[in-house]
């Protein structure tokens, strides 16, 4: 009898316990993907009011996991958020709690410290979220974002938005731990003109890596594929010496040898000149000088650069022909200065052309390459360029404590004293004092680059040449001003940090790859692996990896070159660390 009872009990227990054949999917609304993850979204905007036109516009945006907090909120970024990047930022804010307990949540996004952003976004935006559905591998939630600008704290000048209303629905991929899609409507109020629109965003591509070594392997493949794409663009070099110079420079830093067919052709084409216009423009002179120098950089030096280290001195045993060409282009650069703006350069194609920071930067890069090759720089040019470039910089800005380093235990160390975050612009109004136009990330990177290059060239002068350059009394003030300008520009880049768009530009994509290359130069010249609490190289590399086209390019020839130069960390570092207090 006892055996029958026992057998019956075992049978009942076996029936009541159901062993699952498959583990239950994660039921947590959180960004659980690896830190080294980049997500590319395609966006479509459709006007709601056809009185203003009914043309759809397309856009692309990248979200980086490293910009998310542990609970899923998108870290603040500024300097020119686009409408699309802000929508994704709003949709990305999830609670990080189990779905059964996270039926609703809210957050607040504050951009009051960033006046440039307020042409699109009110100073404070409050967002309410409601979970609407949760399936095995997806969660859906609805969100409503509203914000207004405080009338007592409006931006001092320029356009700004008074109110904003965003309503949308998001789909979150629980299996992968990331945002899949977002749809909704955007409605903004005056005085910044914003057309009410419907938006749609879909995840188009992703790149995710468990560690840096895995990412670096993908970077090597991306560089090789990019160089192959560049092989197929020789038509661009036939009529543009600057493109040929940039391509040759890219090939050499991307790992190609000078005798490789494409490299050889680019090197030949970059030196073709006419008597009327020996250099196509200032960009040609700058890229040409860097390409000439690149032929004489040793493998040992490249290995140092790849490790983030700098040689203490440079020995470029360049050929007599290349030395003569380098000397000629330095003289040409010096001859293109306008009397009213000494040290500043424009395109150099005809007298009276306006000066700009972009052309001046390439002139400075040419002078730096020439200096490392032992070519003399005309007396006073370094002094005048340092004095002149400050005209492109804002006169004031918010105080920012720049990140100095990161300890092995992960603790961030900041500079002891703050710097004013003062960005650089492409042009300036020649008033007294000069007034810089709207600063951007690309031009601020260029401005910091110029100042650090000039410091390095000056440091390479012997005592007699330094005295000849500016005299013993002027030198101290010049060094102090140039150093302060570089530090303030670096503070602006930290305060307005972004890698998925060019801060300060209207659409975020204008000169985007040029901006990445500017950041790479700042990272090499500083030298630092971090801008603020961000790894600029990891963020930039992830963005480029997820954005590379199937055939290996990143669009036009110059954009493809800038992308490869960023990934290959092409910039020759300065002789010593020259920033800091």
pLDDT in tens, 180-224: 999 999 987 654 446 788 999 999 999 999 999 999 999 999 999
- The reply to whether 169 falls in a domain is yes
Q: Give the pLDDT score at 53.
A: 61
Between residues 527 and 383, the one the model is more confident about:
383
Q: Where are the alpha helices (DSSP H) in 438-531?
A: 441-460, 463-470, 472-495, 512-525
What's the average model confidence in pLDDT over 119-144?
Answer: 89
Confidence tier at 519 by pLDDT (50, 70, 90): very high
Q: Give the pLDDT score at 73.
A: 67
Q: What is the pTM of this model?
A: 0.87
Owner of token pair 């700009």: 356
- The reply to whether 1 falls in a domain is no
CB atoms within 10 A of CB 302: 18
Residues 237 and 386 in one domain: yes
Q: Rounded to whole angstroms, how far apart are CA atoms 367 and 404?
A: 29
Residues 254 and 280 in one domain: yes
Residues 168 and 257 in one domain: no
Boundary of a domain, candidates 160, 186, 209:
209
Residues 199 and 220 in one domain: no
Instruction: Write the burial class of residue 267 (CB in 10 Å: 0-12 exposed, 13-18 middle, 19+ buried).
Output: buried
Query: How many structural domains are present in the chain?
Result: 2
Q: What is the CATH number of the domain that holds 292?
A: 1.50.10.20
Q: Rounded to whole angstroms, how far apart are CA atoms 181 and 199?
A: 11
- The reply to whether 124 falls in a domain is yes
Residues 175 and 298 in one domain: no
Region of residue 51 (left: phi > 0; alpha: psi -120 to 50; beta: else): alpha
Instruction: Write the burial class of residue 273 (CB in 10 Å: 0-12 exposed, 13-18 middle, 19+ buried).
Output: middle
What's the average model confidence in pLDDT over 289-317?
Answer: 74
In the predicted model, is pLDDT for residue 77 greater than 70? no
- The reply to whether 443 falls in a domain is yes
- The reply to whether 479 falls in a domain is yes
Q: Rounded to whole angstroms, how far apart are CA atoms 79 and 51?
A: 31
In the predicted model, is pLDDT for residue 579 greater than 50? no
Q: Give the pLDDT score at 18.
A: 41
What's the average model confidence in pLDDT over 402-417?
Answer: 89
Task: Output the average pLDDT for the chain.
Answer: 84
- 56-75 b/e with 16+ CB inside 10 Å = b? eeebbbbbbbbbbeeebbbe
Residues 182 and 223 in one domain: no
Instruction: Write the burial class of residue 371 (CB in 10 Å: 0-12 exposed, 13-18 middle, 19+ buried).
Output: buried
Return the HEC string of 183-234.
EEEEEECCECCCCCEEEEEEEEEEEEECCHHHHHHHHHHHHHHHHHHHHCCC
Boundary of a domain, candidates 153, 184, 209:
209
Q: Which of 58-67, 303-312, 451-460 has the lowest mean pLDDT?
A: 303-312
Is residue 206 within 8 A of residue 173, CB to CB? The reply is no
Residues 411 and 484 in one domain: yes
Q: Rounded to whole angstroms, how far apart are CA atoms 434 and 512?
A: 27
Q: Give the pLDDT score at 299.
A: 74
State percent of the chain over pLDDT 90.
Answer: 43
In the predicted model, is pLDDT for residue 23 greater than 50? no
Q: Helix (H, G, I), strand (E, B), or coil: what is residue 105? A: strand
Q: Rounded to whole angstroms, how far apart are CA atoms 27 and 186?
A: 30
State the distance between the two ends of the chain, measured CA to CA, in whole angstroms. 90
Q: Give the pLDDT score at 20.
A: 41
Boundary of a domain, candidates 209, 226, 242:
209
Confidence tier at 230 by pLDDT (50, 70, 90): very high
The dihedral sign for the CA sequence 92, 96, 99, 103: negative
Is residue 549 within 8 A of residue 555, CB to CB? The reply is yes
Q: Rounded to whole angstroms, how far apart are CA atoms 165 and 232?
A: 47
What's the average model confidence in pLDDT over 80-89?
Answer: 79
Domain span holding position 277:
212-567
In the predicted model, is pLDDT for residue 365 greater than 90? yes
Residues 292 and 183 in one domain: no
Closest CA to 172 of 265, 271, 93, 276: 93
């Amino acid at each position: 009898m006892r055996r029958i009872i026992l057998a019956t009990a075992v049978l009942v227990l076996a029936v009541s316990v159901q062993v699952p054949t498959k583990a239950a999917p994660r039921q947590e609304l959180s960004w659980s993907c690896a830190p080294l993850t980049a997500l590319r979204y395609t966006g479509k905007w459709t006007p709601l009011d056809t009185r203003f036109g009914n043309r759809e516009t397309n856009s692309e945006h990248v979200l980086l996991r490293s910009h998310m907090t542990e609970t899923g909120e998108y870290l603040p970024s500024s300097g020119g958020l686009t409408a699309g990047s802000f929508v994704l930022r709003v949709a990305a804010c999830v609670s990080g709690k189990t779905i059964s307990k996270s039926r609703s949540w809210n957050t607040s996004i504050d951009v009051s410290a960033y006046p440039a952003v307020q042409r699109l976004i009110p100073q404070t935006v409050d967002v309410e979220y409601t979970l609407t559905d949760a399936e095995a591998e997806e969660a859906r939630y609805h969100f409503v974002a509203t914000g207004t600008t405080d009338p007592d704290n409006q931006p001092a000048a320029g356009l700004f938005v008074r109110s904003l209303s965003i309503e949308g629905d998001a789909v979150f991929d629980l299996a992968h731990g990331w945002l899949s899609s977002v749809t909704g409507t955007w409605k903004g109020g005056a005085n910044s003109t914003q057309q009410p629109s419907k938006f749609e965003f879909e995840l188009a591509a992703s790149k995710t890596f468990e560690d840096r070594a895995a990412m670096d392997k993908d970077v090597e493949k991306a560089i090789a594929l990019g160089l192959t794409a560049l092989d197929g663009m020789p038509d661009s070099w036939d009529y543009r010496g600057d493109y040929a110079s940039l391509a040759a420079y890219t090939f050499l830093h991307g790992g190609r040898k000078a005798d490789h067919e494409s490299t050889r052709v680019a090197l030949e084409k970059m030196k073709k000149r006419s008597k009327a216009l020996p250099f196509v423009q200032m960009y040609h002179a700058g890229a040409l000088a860097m390409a000439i120098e690149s032929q004489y950089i040793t493998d040992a030096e490249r290995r140092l650069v790849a490790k983030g280290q700098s040689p203490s001195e440079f020995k470029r045993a360049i050929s007599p022909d290349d030395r003569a060409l380098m000397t000629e282009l330095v003289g040409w650069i010096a001859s293109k200065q306008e009397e009213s703006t000494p040290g500043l350069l424009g395109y150099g194609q005809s007298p009276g052309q306006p000066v700009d920071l972009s052309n001046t930067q390439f002139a400075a890069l040419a002078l730096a390459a020439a200096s490392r090759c032992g070519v003399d720089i005309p007396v006073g040019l370094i002094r005048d360029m340092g004095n002149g470039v400050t005209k492109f910089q804002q006169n004031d800005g918010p105080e920012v404590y720049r990140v100095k380093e990161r300890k092995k235990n992960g603790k961030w160390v900041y500079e002891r004293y703050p710097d004013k975050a003062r960005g650089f612009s492409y042009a300036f109004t020649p008033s007294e004092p000069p007034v810089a136009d709207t600063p951007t990330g690309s031009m601020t990177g260029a401005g910091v680059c110029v100042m650090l290059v000039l410091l390095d060239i000056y440091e390479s002068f012997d005592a007699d040449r330094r005295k000849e350059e500016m005299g013993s009394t002027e030198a101290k003030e010049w060094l102090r001003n140039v150093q302060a300008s570089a530090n303030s520009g670096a503070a602006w880049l930290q305060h307005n940090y972004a890698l998925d768009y060019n801060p300060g530009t209207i659409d975020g994509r204008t000169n985007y790859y040029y901006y990445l290359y500017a950041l790479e130069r700042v990272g090499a010249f500083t030298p630092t692996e971090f801008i603020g609490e961000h790894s600029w190289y990891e963020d930039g590399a992830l963005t480029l990896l997820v954005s590379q086209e199937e055939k290996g390019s990143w669009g036009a020839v110059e954009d493809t070159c800038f992308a490869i130069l960023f990934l290959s960390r092409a910039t020759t570092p300065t002789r010593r660390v020259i920033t800091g207090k």
